[in-house]
Amino acid sequence: MRKPDGKIVLLGDMNVGKTSLLQRYMERRFPDTVSTVGGAFYLKQWRSYNISIWDTAGREQFHGLGSMYCRGAVAVILTYDVSHPQSLAELEDRFLGLTDTASKDCLFAIVGNKVDLTEEGAPEGREGEGCSPRQAGGGPTSPRVPKQVRLEDAMAFYKKILKYKTLDEKNVPAAEQMCFETSAKTGHNVDLLFETLFDMVVPMILRQRAEELSQTVDITSYKPPKRTRSGCCA
Amino acid sequence: MMNIKAFTLVCAVERELLVAGKECVSIECVECCGRDLYVGTNDGFIYHFLLEEKPVPTGTATFTATKQLHRHLGFKKPVNELRAASALNRLLVLCDNSITLANMLSLEPVPSGARIKGASTFALNENPVSGDPFCVEVCIIPVKRRTIQMFLVYEDRVQIVKEVSTPEQPLAVAVDGHFLCLALSTQYIILNYSSGVSQDLFPYCSEEKRPIVKRIGRQEFLLAGPGGLGMFATVAGISQRAPVHWSENVIGAAVSFPYVIALDDEFITVHSMLDQQQKQTLPFKEGHILQDFEGRVIVATSKGVYILVPLPLEKQIQDLLANRRVEEALVLAKGARRNIPKEKFQVMYRRILQQAGFIQFAQLQFLEAKELFRSGQLDVRELISLYPFLLPTSSSFTRSHPPLHEYADLNQLTQGDQEKMAKCKRFLMSYLNEVRSTEGANGYKEDIDTALLKLYAEANHDSLLDLLVTENFCLLTDSAVWLEKHKKYFALGLLYHYNNQDAAAVQLWVNIVNGDIQDSTRSDVYEYIVDFLTCCVDQELVWAHADWVLQRSEEVGVQVFTKRPLDEQQNSFKPDDIINCLKKYPKALVKYLEHLVMDKRLQKEEYHTHLALLYLEEVLRQRTPASSQGAETTETQAKLRHLLQKSDLYRVHFLIERIQGAGLPMERAILHGKLGEDDKALHILVHELKDFSAAEDYCLWCSEGRDPPRRQRLFHTLLAIYLRAGPSAHELTVAAVDLLNRHATEFDAAQVLQLLPDTWSVQLLCPFLTGAVRNSVHARRTMQVAVGLAKSENLIYTCDKMKLKRSSVRLSDKKLCQMCQNPFCEPVFVRYPNGGLVHTHCAASRHTNPSSPSPGART
């Protein structure tokens, strides 16, 4: 098994479309998905680097696994559903805490999925009206509705994250850069999301590698401490 | 979910062997170490069996267990756990919360009575850190204390090395190096017992379900997670594999690469670690123990012990392939890479890729098939051999054994479906076309190209000709038979040509043109033959077919001689031979002579005269029927005139004789002109033909490239002819005026003025006079300029001479010759422009000896 060079984790409430986003990007399709059990991951070759992208289960039952999945992550994609304000609130209440285990300079992307369902959503691919791209077990089919969550809300949340992580806004990418509105169904902004992140992640991988190197101890230069005679055999 | 058969369940210890007659006795724990199998029971007995594996050539091995010994531990408590430390020849026995050491063979407790008390469970460190081969590292979970303890266990003593407290009561443990993976009551953690650093993995409710902690390899553990997940975690606290999805009530897990095996109340399930998919389900009731021992997986109920025998990976892969599950087979094969020696793996993997390729091929998934064939480095003949009759009869190829697929040929594969057959053939065409230029084709280029030729011929494909006119390895005999069968005679000719059998090739094409054989590949085979012969270096072949090509078309056929490449023309075909041959074909002969005279510019009187004569004959032949004087000049006539004017080589007298009385005044005039009889020629033009412009033309072309006086003479002659007729011939007077006005510069104006009749008005000759005056003025001025320039040049030289003469040179004894450094004895010297003085003889010797120093140019 190839060892990935960096890890990106998708977090978010159930039914916001994490699996669909990932499948849209990796497999260029939008199939019906079933509720993710536990987690799954894809390996993506980006330039000469292997990046693993973990899809996590949004269900409460698997919530406890999130911390472990996030451990050492170089980026976390926090996903909500633009037609469900609660899904954004959940990110703050339940999911942000899981990212404590992520790498210390971890990047955060806030992604509002399902813009195709809203009135101002991406215009492409409106056939199949009414069969909403919800994950199986999903809610009621929704006709076009006014967008419930504005991009500004996501940006405000992004700034909250920075505060929570006590990160200086100057040292991290701006909110405008890291907040996306996507549609896994039409593919709107999906490539942009992942590829923007990959490009940002590569320098972090390089930095991490450099740090690892400097921490490596050369065991060949180790000298055993001088033995002191133990009392009993003296 | 599609299943594969990864394991077979075989019985190892029958219940009769163990608990004969005692119904209440049940198995508590199992340990297996090499061939030694130990079983602990609920009534305090340890049984020792010897396992014997009986391999069955076809199918799964069977096991028989022979009981060696059994021993009662002394109290009626169940034996909770057994672990063998084979290096120490000791069995660690957990019973009644205390771990004792027993001899592995005799099952007797060690005399020292060494034991660890108060242990609820324990685990051996399979990745020990002490480096001492005579001890094992054991981690125990003490009863009712929130700690874990590390012990070193020797042959007959135990030694505690570390005690670490834990945040909650630990329930299960696995060890790797310094790392403990612990199931606490509400969560799993990784604990480094040497540094004390711990890391939370994930929460888990031990009250609902029994936790499972299982070391599956270096620094990696398998844990029972929420919702029936089998979670993977490394000592760093991260997950590198996606979880597997078990049932909710899993009670045991084991690993046998690349599978994770889990046990619940009713089933043994097998998941692949490579794709996380469930691969096999074996019904197994009342099982309560599932463990792997150095790769051997054992399950047990309370009454019997069973072994899960893995099927060889190759067999599993073959099963998958047999079920057309290509993707899974490849994943499994790739996953097996590290378990199989590299050389062996590569051979195996290549074969699997090839097999997978044929499966895709049979499903007409050509893109996938091609990629698999390519990466599997398939001997392309395997594929060709599927297509009947494509491999050359001489090919030494036999299909690999065991076969890569189950198909005898394409007919069987497509079941006679013509459309599928055609698709397969198209695929092979494109595949062979790609392969033939790669390294993979080395060694069997003949087979590939011959097969490709056959496919193209059969499909009437345009590339057939491309294949044959470029470098190829088509086998002659095989290909020839096939091309004949498919009536590709033109292509067959190309094949013959490629094999240096030009005569056969040309004969075949000739037959096509003659209609003896039918092949509609090209409609211009005749022209092709002509081109072919034109470039053909084989003279005999050209001569052999010369008559044939000329008979079909003189004009085209003669190209065989006229369009030959320049380099070989000189030394091979002799013009006289060709002319001889062309005698029967007048049109061709004319073309050929034109080629010699015009294109090659051969300066040979014979050819020029011959050509002129042929033209003349043709002109005469054309004139006779019409015989109307002054008819339009024909093309041939134009050619004749052109030749007569331009060439100086033909025999003029001979032609004049032939032309006499033929009524060709223009031609006659030209011929007279060639003889220098301008008067005669112009007379014919002016008086016979009355063609004044032709007369002017005559003056021009006749004097072309000659000296100007000749031209002037010609014009004056013409003028004289015009004027001689006198004023009564009004027509000629006009012609004379026009001539003067149009060609004013060609005349000597002074002479002309004397000739002209006095009656002519100035106005009439205005253009001529203006031109003449202008000419004369121009000449005068030009001369004046020249005179002026010459004068000024003369002045410049005079000035230079003056300057040089102005100063005097004084000779004294002190003045030395610059060359010989001697004084001047006579008043004679040479002075250079820079003022240097030398002896005359020195200056002379300097010019004969250029290496001496040069003081400058001599004046």
Give the Cα separation of B420 and B569 in Å (integer).
Answer: 55
* Exposure on the CB side of residue B22, measured as CA atoms within 13 A: 12
pTM equals: 0.63
- The 10 Å Cβ neighbour count of residue B731 is 12
Q: What percent of chain B has pLDDT over 90?
A: 27
Give the Cα separation of B112 and A189 in Å (integer).
Answer: 73
Segment B144-168 shows an average pLDDT of 91
Band the pLDDT of B175: cuts 50, 70, 90: very high
The boundaries of the domain holding residue B199 are 7-311
**Residues B848, B771 share a domain:** no
Give the Cα separation of B450 and B393 in Å (integer).
Answer: 10
Ordered by start, the domain boundaries in chain A are 6-233
Query: pLDDT digits over B410-423, tens only?
Result: 888 888 899 999 99
Q: Do A65 and B229 touch (CB under 8 A)?
A: yes
- Given a cut of 50, is residue B458 above it in pLDDT? yes
Strand pairing report for B7-13 and B305-310: antiparallel
Q: So what's the pLDDT on residue A129?
A: 40
Residues of A in contact with B202 (CB under 8 A): 64-65, 67-68
Query: pLDDT digits over B73-89, tens only?
Result: 888 899 999 999 988 99
Q: So what's the pLDDT on residue A77?
A: 95
What count of CB pairs under 8 Å joins A to B?
57
B616 found inside a domain:
no
- Given a cut of 70, is residue B632 above it in pLDDT? no
Segment B597-611 shows an average pLDDT of 82
Band the pLDDT of A120: cuts 50, 70, 90: low
Q: So what's the pLDDT on residue B250?
A: 92
Both tokens of B793, joined, read: 């040049």
CA distance B274 to chain A (A): 9
Band the pLDDT of A224: cuts 50, 70, 90: low
Which of B226, B240, B241 is facing A61, going by the closest CB pair? B226
Residues of B in contact with A41 (CB under 8 A): 242
**Residues B814, B785 share a domain:** no
Residues of B in contact with A67 (CB under 8 A): 200, 202
CA distance A102 to chain B (A): 10
The SS3 of residue A130 is coil
| CB within 8 Å of B833: residues ≥ 6 apart | B856, B857, B859
Query: pLDDT digits over B348-387, tens only?
Result: 889 889 999 999 999 898 988 999 999 898 888 999 998 9
**Residues B280, B207 share a domain:** yes
Segment B164-190 shows an average pLDDT of 93
Residues of B in contact with A100 (CB under 8 A): none
**Residues B30, B49 share a domain:** yes
B304 found inside a domain:
yes
- Given a cut of 80, is residue B524 above it in pLDDT? yes
Band the pLDDT of B549: cuts 50, 70, 90: confident
Band the pLDDT of B561: cuts 50, 70, 90: confident
Q: Do A41 and B242 touch (CB under 8 A)?
A: yes
CA distance B338 to chain A (A): 10
Q: So what's the pLDDT on residue A130?
A: 41
Segment A186-193 shows an average pLDDT of 93
**Residues B848, B709 share a domain:** no
- Given a cut of 90, is residue B339 above it in pLDDT? no
- Given a cut of 70, is residue B855 above it in pLDDT? no
The SS3 of residue B696 is helix
- β-bridge mates for residue B90, sequence order: B85, B103
Segment B729-740 shows an average pLDDT of 80
Give the Cα separation of B300 and B13 in Å (integer).
Answer: 9
Q: Do A61 and B201 touch (CB under 8 A)?
A: no
Residues of B in contact with A39 (CB under 8 A): 239, 242-243
Q: Do B227 and A68 touch (CB under 8 A)?
A: no
Interface of B with A (CB under 8 A): 187, 200-204, 225-227, 229, 231, 233, 236-243, 245, 276
Q: So what's the pLDDT on residue A190?
A: 94
**Residues B793, B811 share a domain:** no
- The 10 Å Cβ neighbour count of residue B429 is 18
Which of B203, B225, B237 is facing A38, going by the closest CB pair? B225
CA distance A38 to chain B (A): 6
Band the pLDDT of B851: cuts 50, 70, 90: very low
**Residues B188, B75 share a domain:** yes
Q: Which residue has the higher pLDDT, B496 or B439?
A: B496
Q: What is the DSSP annotation of A135-171? A: PTT-------B--SS-HHHHHHHHHHHHHHTT--GGG
Give the Cα separation of B454 and A150 in Å (integer).
Answer: 67
Band the pLDDT of B1: cuts 50, 70, 90: very low
Q: So what's the pLDDT on residue B132?
A: 87
CA distance B332 to chain A (A): 12
B830 found inside a domain:
yes
Q: Which residue of A has its CA nearest to B335?
A: A1
Residues of A in contact with B226 (CB under 8 A): 61-62, 64-65
Number of residues that this document lists for chain A: 234
Give the Cα separation of B430 and B434 in Å (integer).
Answer: 6
The SS3 of residue B744 is helix
Q: So what's the pLDDT on residue B686?
A: 78
Band the pLDDT of B677: cuts 50, 70, 90: confident
Q: Which residue of B has its CA nearest to A2?
A: B240
Q: So what's the pLDDT on residue A234?
A: 39
Q: So what's the pLDDT on residue A121?
A: 52
Amino acid letter, B548: W
Q: So what's the pLDDT on residue B847?
A: 66
Residues of A in contact with B229 (CB under 8 A): 37-38, 62, 65
Query: pLDDT digits over B189-243, tens only?
Result: 999 999 989 999 999 888 888 899 999 988 999 999 988 899 999 999 988 888 9
Helix axes B708-724, B730-742, angle to 10 degrees: 160
| Last residue of one domain, picked from the residues B295, B311, B327 | B311
Helix axes B502-514, B539-552, angle to 10 degrees: 10
Q: Which residue of B has its CA nearest to A6?
A: B240
**Residues B219, B103 share a domain:** yes
| Last residue of one domain, picked from the residues B271, B288, B311 | B311
Tell me the pLDDT of chain B averaged across its residues: 85
| CB within 8 Å of B198: residues ≥ 6 apart | B166, B167, B189, B190, B191, B192
Both tokens of B498, joined, read: 């490629």
Which of A7, A59, A64 is facing B203, going by the closest CB pair? A64
CA distance B164 to chain A (A): 23
- Given a cut of 90, is residue B768 above it in pLDDT? no
CA distance B117 to chain A (A): 27
Q: Do B202 and A101 touch (CB under 8 A)?
A: no
Strand pairing report for A6-12 and A75-81: parallel
Q: Do B276 and A40 touch (CB under 8 A)?
A: yes
Give the Cα separation of B611 and B596 in Å (integer).
Answer: 10
Shortest CA distance to B606 belongs to which of B575, B570, B568? B575
What letters, b where the CB count within 10 A reaches 16 and e where it falls short, cover B805-814?
eeeeeeeeee
Q: So what's the pLDDT on residue B138?
A: 95
Q: Tell me B596's DSSP state.
A: I
Highest mean pLDDT among A2-6, B258-262, B310-314: B258-262
Segment B795-805 shows an average pLDDT of 89
Q: Do A68 and B238 touch (CB under 8 A)?
A: yes
Q: So what's the pLDDT on residue B357?
A: 92
- Given a cut of 90, is residue B131 above it in pLDDT? no
| CB within 8 Å of B223: residues ≥ 6 apart | B181, B183, B188, B201, B204, B211, B212, B213, B214, B230, B231, B232, B233
Structural domains in chain B (count): 4
Q: So what's the pLDDT on residue B568?
A: 61
**Residues B820, B731 share a domain:** no
Give the Cα separation of B267 and B262 in Å (integer).
Answer: 8
Q: So what's the pLDDT on residue B59?
A: 67
Q: Which residue of A has its CA nearest to B242?
A: A40
Q: Are A154 and A115 in contact (CB under 8 A)?
A: no
Q: Do B227 and A38 touch (CB under 8 A)?
A: yes
**CATH code of the region A6-233:** 3.40.50.300
Q: Which residue of A has its CA nearest to B187?
A: A64
**Residue of A3, A9, A71, A94 to mutate for B, most B C-beta atoms under 10 A:** A71
Q: Do B227 and A61 touch (CB under 8 A)?
A: yes
Segment B243-272 shows an average pLDDT of 91
- Given a cut of 50, is residue A118 above it in pLDDT? yes
Query: pLDDT digits over B299-332, tens only?
Result: 999 888 999 988 888 888 888 888 888 888 888 8
- β-bridge mates for residue A206, sequence order: none
Segment B22-33 shows an average pLDDT of 86
B283 found inside a domain:
yes
Band the pLDDT of B790: cuts 50, 70, 90: very high
Interface of A with B (CB under 8 A): 1, 3-4, 7, 37-41, 59, 61-62, 64-65, 67-69, 71-72, 101
Both tokens of A40, joined, read: 């799954």
Q: Do B240 and A3 touch (CB under 8 A)?
A: yes
- Given a cut of 70, is residue A218 above it in pLDDT? no
Q: So what's the pLDDT on residue A215?
A: 66
**Residues B852, B776 share a domain:** no
Q: Which residue of A has its CA nearest to B201?
A: A68
Q: So what's the pLDDT on residue A132?
A: 43
| Last residue of one domain, picked from the residues B574, B602, B630 | B602
Q: So what's the pLDDT on residue B546?
A: 86
**Residues B184, B299 share a domain:** yes
Residues of A in contact with B276 (CB under 8 A): 40
User: Residue B847 is part of a domain; what is its CATH number?
Assistant: 3.30.50
- Given a cut of 70, is residue A219 above it in pLDDT? no
**Residues B852, B749 share a domain:** no
Q: So what's the pLDDT on residue A134?
A: 43
Segment B784-803 shows an average pLDDT of 94
Q: Which residue has the higher pLDDT, B658 or B851?
A: B658
The SS3 of residue B5 is coil
Give the Cα separation of B95 and B109 in Å (integer).
Answer: 13
Segment A76-89 shows an average pLDDT of 93
